[in-house]
Amino acid sequence: MPAKVVGGAVRIIAVGDELLEGRTADTNSRWIQQALGSHSVQVSLIQVVPDRQEDISLALDRTEAGDLVFVTGGLGSTPDDMTRDVVAGWAQVELIEDPSVKRQLKERWEKRGIKSSPGAVRQSLVPRGMTPLTNPVGSAPGLVGRLRDRMLVLLPGVPQELQGLLLPAVRWLEGNGALPKPRRTMLWRTAQASELSLVRSCSGIRGNFPTLDWSWWLTDWGVDVRLVAGAGKAGGGDLAAAGEMVDEILGRLVYSRRMETLPQVVQRLMLDRNLTLGVAESCTAGLIGGSLTEQPGSSGFFRGGILAYADRVKTAQLGVPAELLVDSGAVSEETVMAMADGCRKRIGTDYAVAVSGISGPDGGSPDKPVGTTWVAIATPSTVFARRYRFPADRQRNRLLTVAAAVDSLRRVLEFGDEQPPWQPSDSWCRPS
C-alpha cells in the first residue's frame, strides 16, 4: 500500500479554460504523479477548473486539512492569471511583494531588452507564508508553503516551466517534512515483451517479496517495470535481492535501467563505437528514421535511408531482385534481408535496419494476415531477419514495427552479431 502524505492525501487542481474547452489536454498532472513516484504517494483527486475566481476557490475548499495540494496554471502576467490572488484570498493572507523575485524578474526583462510591465510586478507578489522557487525556464516563480493546514504548491501551467520547477518543489517538500522519505526504486525499461508476459515472468519473485510495490507502465517503446522498496527497514534488502532476480529474468528485454528512450540508447551505443546507420523502410515509410533522429547529435551516426514503399523503389534504389519480389513477395524474409543488405551498401554504412510489413486494414491474406511484419538488421558480417505478427490497428502496428526494429538493432549493438538478437521466448515474436 502506498504511504499517505503526512496527514492527508495528494490532490491536484489544474486551472485553465483551455483545459475545459478541449483545446489542450492536462499533461501536467502526469508529470506531478511521476515526480512523486519514488515517494510512493498516490494522487487521490484531480480537479480541472476554469480561470474563474469562484471555481478555483471552490476547488481549494474541496481539499482537506493535512492534504498536499498542487495547483497548476494561472501564474502568468495577464489578468486571466489569478491563482496567486485566489489562494491569498482563500487563505485570508496578504500578497507581499518579494524583493528577490522582483529583482530576478527585472534582470530577466533587461536581458531581453523589455521594460518591466504591470504584469511583471504582479508576478513578484507572494501570499504571506509561501516561499518562491526560482523558475529555471520562464518568469513566473513556483510558490510553496503551508496555508490553512494544507501544504500548497503553486506551479505554472506551461509544461516546460512546470517540469523545470517540479524537482526543486519536491526537494523543498522533502526538506519541510511534507512528503514521506523517498523509497528506493528500481526501473527496467523493456521492449519486445507484452505486459502480460512480464507480469508472468516476475510472478515468482513477487510472491517471495511481499513488501515490494510493483508497477507496469506502457510506453512508446514497450513496458516499464518499476519496483519500489517497502516502508520497513527490510525494504532495502528485499529490493536489492529482488532486483538481482529481475535482472536475470528480464535479461536482454531491458534496454535501459534509467529514464532514457530507446533512440537515446541506440545513439549512445553507435556514437561510443563510431558506427554509422542507414534505414530501409517500407510499411513505416520514414517513422524509423524520424525517431532515430529525435535527439540532437544524431547526425553523428545516422546517415540516411530509402523509403521503399513501392516495389519499384525496392528494386531500383535498394537492388532487391525483381524476381525475388515476385517469388517471395514484398513482405518476406528474403525481401527484407535484401533490403537491409542493399541499404547498407548503397547508403554506405556499418549497419542497416529494414522493415516490410502489412499494417492494415487492407492487404492481409490467410498466409500473411494484417500485422505480419519482417524486420532485418544488416551488420558488417551478416544479416538477421525475424517475423512479427502485430495484433493492432494500422497506426499501432506501425509504431510497434518502429519499436521492434530499433530494439533489435539495440540488441545487436549490445550483444554482438555472433547470434541473432531474438529468442523464442520474446513474446512479440511468438507466432500467433
Q: Please give the Cα distance from 88 to 128 (Å, whole number).
A: 8
* Sign of torsion over alpha carbons 402, 406, 407, 408: positive
Smallest gap from Cβ 369 to a copy of itself, in A, equals 16
Per-residue binding letters, 342-371, with a copy of itself (x by CB under 8 A)? ----xxx-----------xxx---------
Taking CB under 8 A as the binding criterion, the range among 77-85, 162-170, 234-242, 292-300 that sits at the site for a copy of itself is 292-300
* Sign of torsion over alpha carbons 185, 186, 189, 194: negative
Q: Which of 294, 365, 416, 419 binds a copy of itself (CB under 8 A)?
A: 294
Q: Which of 15, 288, 375, 429 binds a copy of itself (CB under 8 A)?
A: 288
Cβ proximity to a copy of itself: between 46 and 140 the closer is 46
Per-residue binding letters, 184-223, with a copy of itself (x by CB under 8 A)? -------------------------------x-xx-----
Cβ proximity to a copy of itself: between 48 and 400 the closer is 48
Tell me: does residue 281 bind a copy of itself (CB under 8 A).
Answer: yes
Q: What's the 3-state SS for 81-134?
A: CCHHHHHHHHHCCCEEECHHHHHHHHHHHHHCCCCCCHHHHHCCEEECCCEEEC
Q: Please give the Cα distance from 240 to 95 (Å, whole number).
A: 49
Q: Which of 123, 190, 317, 408 binds a copy of itself (CB under 8 A)?
A: 317
Q: Which of 302, 351, 384, 422 binds a copy of itself (CB under 8 A)?
A: 302
- Strands 351-357, 372-378: pairing kind: antiparallel
Q: Please give the Cα distance from 119 to 109 (Å, whole number).
A: 12
Q: Which of 15, 19, 86, 198 binds a copy of itself (CB under 8 A)?
A: 19
Per-residue binding letters, 43-72, with a copy of itself (x by CB under 8 A)? xxxxxxxx----x------x----------
Backbone φ, ψ for residue 180 (5° rounding): -65, 155
Q: Look at residue 362 and give its three-state secondary structure.
A: coil
Q: Please give the Cα distance from 11 to 151 (Å, whole number).
A: 10
Cβ proximity to a copy of itself: between 268 and 346 the closer is 346
Smallest gap from Cβ 17 to a copy of itself, in A, equals 8
* Sign of torsion over alpha carbons 189, 137, 98, 12: negative
Cβ proximity to a copy of itself: between 124 and 298 the closer is 298
